[in-house]
Structures are given as structure tokens and as C-alpha cells.
Chains A and B, each alone.
Chain A
Amino acid sequence: MTDPTTQTAQPLLAGDDQQHLRTRWIQIEEGFVDDPHAAVQQADDLIDDVIDRLRDALSSQRANLRSGWESLDDATTEQLRETLHRYEQMFTQLNELPAPSGWQDRERGSRATTHGRPTFPSNDTNTQSDSDMGAR
């Protein structure tokens, strides 16, 4: 048995799911200019879907852990200790989930756009990660 402490963190959602969700997000963002209200509604639906998928993924992670020790009639203390450690990892992971980075800015952001006037882009680089324009 490998030492559970050296296990690398796996993403909760499968790569295909992540890709699918990301594609949906891109479409929502692209569609904002055509229909801002619909885009926001779609974003809400998307988050709802993500929450469902995360719940499923977490449930199956927990089911895995449980089947690991429930099936053992005479589990050794060491096996139980390792199992407990895996529960701890899951607990820590969930308990310390970071909030989305934009949330701290909400207060500042809502004040800045009170007049419906977007701030002019200066050297604010946090949203330009996918800028691939102009190179032709």
C-alpha cells in the first residue's frame, strides 16, 4: 500500500467534464455581448450543474472510502489509521476550499461601476491571460 501522505491531489471532476464545462463557460462569455441577461442566466445554470457534478464526485469519493473499511471484518488498527488519514485529507480539502478570487473584489467592483461606466483598462493584467490577439 502506498503511503497516503504522498498521494498527489486529483481534480474532483474528470478531464472530459472539465473540458465540457470550460467550453460552456467560454460560450457564455462570448454570448454576453448579444444578450447580457441570458448570459447571466446561463452562468447560473452552469454553476448549478457544476455543484451537482461536484456533489456526485464527492459522494462517490466518500463511497469509495467507506467500502474500503466496511468490507473488512477484521481490519487492523494500521489499516483503520490509514483510512482515517484519507478521511482527514478529504475533510481538509473540503473545509479549506478557497473562495473564488473575484469575491474579495466584489465590494470594490460594485462601487466602481455604480455609474455603469467600466474602468478603463490600464495595467490591470488579471483578465488578460488568454490574450492572443494581433499576432498574425
Chain B
Amino acid sequence: MEPWMWIAIAIVIIVVIAVVVWLLLRPSRRLKKQFGSEYDRVVRQTGDKNAAQDELQQRLERQDSYALRELNADEQDRYVADWRTLQRHFAKQPATGLLEADELITQLLGDIGYPTNSFEQQAADLSTAHADVVDDYREARAVVRDTRAGSAGTEEIRQALLRYRTVFEHVAQTQVARSDDEAVS
């Protein structure tokens, strides 16, 4: 082959790679992939795709400014023990169990380096590193509100507590044993 043909092929390859990289790195695509359903929620809330992308981009930058850390094994064990205790409290008094779960998650978020000023802030922060569980967090939180108002039923509170547990396990990077895990005999 002539040298100019090699150069032409090289240019074509470079252009194709550049286009693919550009397509993959477009902010909308990148943010959509990272934030999942939260992306759509913020777009709905702001009513404007660009504003939503700015908001999400800001969240990412804010996240970088936090000094986040992971729990060590002892801390994980203590948190799990606390979680199991509040599951027992749920069986006695559902509202108490759920409110304790709410507090424990806030405590956990603070413990690993998130600011814990307001629920909206916590949900926004959670959406950057734990996008999978933000929906659970928001829905459980709505039931906490109903529970405080005295209008949540036991089954509703139970579902909320299970959602909170998903969030808890995700953030604490650990598992709470299920009753089927241990032979109850």
C-alpha cells in the first residue's frame, strides 16, 4: 500500500474514535448513566434539561469536596447490631422502629463524611454515589412523614423499613442477616 493510504486510514480511525468518545462523554449521556432515575426526576423538577445537568454536575463537584470514608469492620458490626435492635423495636412499635431507622441512616451518613443538615441535601448527596437507592430513600422518607403525622399503617411502615434497610446496607457496605439466613431452631 502507498504511504498516503496508511495516513488516510489512520485519519479515519482517529475521527471515528473521536466521535465515539464525544458521544460517550456527552454530559447528558454520562449524567443519565450515573444518576439513573434521579436524572429524570431532576429534569422534571427543574423543567429544563440544561439546568438539570448543571444541578447534577454541581452535586458531583460537591461530592468531591467531601472527605468521605468507609466504615471499618467493627463499625459495620455495631451499625448492623443497632439495625437489628430497631427491627425488634418495629415488631413492638412500628413507628418507633422506623423513626430509629431514619435516625440511624442520618447518623451513618454523617459518620462517613456527609453533611446532615437537611433531608433534601442528604438525598442529593446520596444520589451521586448511591444512585440505585435514592428512590428507596425518598419513598421511605415520605412514610416517615406520614408516621409522624400518625397516618401510616403498619404494613406501610414495614415496607418503608425494608426500603431503608436497602439504603442502609448500600451505604454501610454490609448486610443485615435475614431470618432465613439463620436456622431458627
In the complex, A134 Cα to B89 Cα: how many Å?
Answer: 14
- Is B105 an interface position by the 8 A CB rule? no
Chain A interface secondary structure, helix, strand, loop or mixed? loop
Q: Range of interface residues on chain A?
A: 20 to 34
Interface residues of B (CB under 8 A from A): 78, 82, 84-97, 99-100, 103-104, 107, 111, 147, 150-155, 157-158, 161-162, 165, 178-180, 182, 184-185
Interface residues of A (CB under 8 A from B): 24, 26-36, 38-39, 42, 113, 115-121, 124, 127-128, 130-134, 136
In the complex, A113 Cα to B158 Cα: how many Å?
Answer: 15
Q: Which of B96, B100, B151, B179 contacts A27 (CB 8 A)?
A: B179
In the complex, A61 Cα to B165 Cα: how many Å?
Answer: 47
In the bound complex, residues from chain A placing their C-beta under 8 Å from that of B104 are: 133
Q: Which of B86, B88, B155, B179 contacts A34 (CB 8 A)?
A: B179
Q: Which of A38, A117, A132 contacts B179 (CB 8 A)?
A: A38
Query: From residue B182, how far is it (CB to closest CB) to chain A in Å?
Result: 6
In the bound complex, residues from chain A placing their C-beta under 8 Å from that of B88 are: 26, 29-30, 130
Query: From residue B145, how far is it (CB to closest CB) to chain A in Å?
Result: 13
Q: Which of B86, B158, B182 contacts A36 (CB 8 A)?
A: B158
In the bound complex, residues from chain A placing their C-beta under 8 Å from that of B89 are: 127-128, 131
* Beta-carbon contact of A29 and B107 below 8 Å: no
In the bound complex, residues from chain B placing their C-beta under 8 Å from that of A115 are: 153
